[in-house]
Amino acid sequence: MSTFTTKDGTEIFYKDWGTGSPVVFSHGWPLNADAWDLQMMFLADKGYRVIAHDRRGHGRSSQPWNGNNMDTYADDLAELAEHLDLKGATHVGHSTGGGEVARYIGRHGSKRVAKAVLISAVPPIMLKTEANPAGLPISVFDGLRAGVLADRSEFFKDLSLPFYGYNKPDAKPSQGVRDEFWREGMLMSIKGAYDCIKQFSETDFTEDLKKIDVPTLILHGDADQIVPIVAAGLLSAKIVKNATLKVYPGAPHGMCTTLADKVNADLLAFLKS
């Protein structure tokens, strides 16, 4: 297994496949790098170098008590880019990973970054506030925390339904996809799972989005039940300079899996543009 150790002693697992221009993937909660397998296989086969890491507290990376916060997630990503000496990389973030990419550029600049892609991403901010009336109330995220503490296994099984839109009347659920969501969720530490909820829900990425100075593609489904598009993709597209927004009609939060062919085609076209 490929790993590196951060400055605070946390071991981070990553995959590094193929050769060519680097594409770096940041996963959502409660998943890990395996959530990107369909995109990584596709792009590596098209001549790209694809890299994905397990965020601290997730997957095969260390499970530290401290550091489960967005600034440290972004710093870990910066250390990965330095460890591999990446230049001209395209950074792709799904959900929480989209926040990680935004905060990475916000904190560390774009000297190693050529392009960015935010997919079903949490910025600018998920939480409902006076300044963000379209956000979700704190009770939603308190419910997530309660579910993680009470019965994490059953909670992740249940969460897989709205995550992939499998609770819709016309849906064709895949038990395999649901099982994989549960497997990845159960690999993370309960501490990491719990702490990360506050990070993806309450972090305000507005200033980070304003600092993104590279071509940016924003993909979001208008049927996303986890990160509703109204307070996320639509707003981010207005804040990021030179952003291109693509709305997927009827698409769920987990569209990198359920609509992998469409996502892959859009990623490839953006990489070539």
Residues of the chain with pLDDT > 70, as a percent, come to: 100
pLDDT in tens, 14-58: 999 999 999 999 999 999 999 999 999 999 999 999 999 999 999
The yes-or-no verdict on residue 1 having pLDDT over 90 is no
The yes-or-no verdict on residue 70 having pLDDT over 90 is yes
The residues facing 13 across adjacent strands are: 3
The yes-or-no verdict on residue 161 having pLDDT over 90 is yes
pLDDT in tens, 104-130: 999 999 999 999 999 999 999 999 999
pLDDT confidence band for 80 (50 / 70 / 90): very high
Mean pLDDT across the chain: 98
Catalytic residues, which ones? Answer: 95, 224, 253
Q: In this predicted structure, what is the pLDDT of residue 242? A: 87
Q: Where are the domains of the chain?
A: 2-272
pLDDT confidence band for 77 (50 / 70 / 90): very high
CATH superfamily for 2-272 is: Alpha/Beta hydrolase fold, catalytic domain (3.40.50.1820)
pLDDT in tens, 200-249: 999 999 999 999 999 999 999 999 999 999 999 999 999 999 899 999 99
Query: By C-alpha distance, which of 229, 238, 234 is closest to 209?
Result: 238
Give the torsion sign (CA, 129, 106, 197, 164). positive
Q: In this predicted structure, what is the pLDDT of residue 245? A: 98
Separation CA 101–CA 83 (nearest Å): 17
Query: By C-alpha distance, which of 40, 45, 127 is closest to 92?
Result: 40
